[in-house]
Amino acid sequence: MFLVPDFKGFDFFPHGTRIDFMRYKSLCFGLSVLAMALAIGLFLVKGLNYGVDFKGGSLIEVQSKSGPADLSSLRQKVGGLGLGDVQIQSFGAPVDVLIRVEEQPGGDKAQQDALNKVVAALGDGYIQRRVEVVGPAVSSELRTTGMIAVLASIFAIIMYVWFRFEWQFAVGTVVALAHDVLVTVGVFSLFNLEFDLGIVAALLTILGYSVNDTVVVSDRIRENLRKFKKMDLTELLNLSINETLSRTILTGASTIAVLIALYIFGGEVIRNFTFAMLFGVIIGTYSSIFIAAPVLGYLGIKRDWSGTAVKGGPAVGKA
């Protein structure tokens, strides 16, 4: 006979918290605005380290047949080919090497010729594992479509939130989403991480995750506006965030745990993508609490929602 432990009443995260989040809204909002301004400044001054997808050129991933790759020897061999800017770096394991060759004048044929020269210079000591060649027309088109995809997603999210709630909720959501995207892009610029189509996919995923968190909090705010029509708005925002806090933290923590495992064990190819996702989930959880909700406090919101009013409500004290 097996005894099954009784977990009734057991919670991984305490319910009924009474944290005064709105107490810190000015500080958090100010820091967030500063972070967005710094991110924009980094983008304008330093720019992004665009990958082959957006910059054009060739990318060759090779593996040494006999022990760790000799990067200095490879740089001497490839550097003397007259191909312009050639970057050679270790890629994951010591035997793996990533070679990037800048876009060559003369179109696709010149790019293919450059690729053939690099392969010939490597000799028989290396195995080709991956080759990517992107021409100037394609790279320009990919940059444009990537930007359109992000902007179209934000616009669709704004329309959805505006239709489902009110314009104040839509403003709070778009400020939070802009914060998430700008700060993530700023981090990539700051640390000179490669920015390619995979990162655009990560940004779109971050937008979806962040708006999901924001909608959960917004839905509880709307519900409490119906129930407690005479409650002070700041107190009501605190109450709504506290009521959804366990869900927000547990969902975020479980997602972060999976992404950490993927970052460690997923390999070098998806490491930047996983980093963008990991950072975005953390910053998205923060923005749903400390940006989207406080915006409602600054803008105000109508109190004549349909439903039965309940006088008063549970007070939310300071943590």
Domains of the chain by residue range: 21-49+139-299, 57-134
Q: Identify the three-state secondary structure at position 90.
A: strand
Domains 21-49+139-299 and 57-134 share a fold: no
Fold of 21-49+139-299: Multidrug efflux transporter AcrB transmembrane fold (1.20.1640)
pLDDT string in tens for the chain (319-residue length):
445 455 455 455 556 678 888 888 889 989 999 999 999 999 999 998 887 777 777 888 888 888 888 788 888 888 777 777 777 877 777 888 888 887 777 777 777 888 888 888 887 888 888 887 766 666 677 778 888 888 888 888 888 888 887 888 888 888 999 999 999 999 999 999 988 888 989 998 998 888 888 888 888 988 888 888 888 888 989 999 999 888 888 888 999 999 999 999 887 778 899 999 999 999 999 998 899 888 888 887 766 554 444 444 454 444 4
How far is it, in rounded angstroms, from Cα 97 to Cα 106? 27
Sorted by sequence, the CB contacts under 8 Å of residue 167 that are 6+ apart come out as none
The pTM of this model reads 0.77
How far is it, in rounded angstroms, from Cα 165 to Cα 185? 29
Among the CATH numbers 3.40.718.10, 3.40.1480.10, 3.40.250.10, 3.30.70.3400, which is that of 57-134? 3.30.70.3400
Q: Check if the beta carbon of residue 49 is closer than 8 Å to that of residue 195.
A: yes
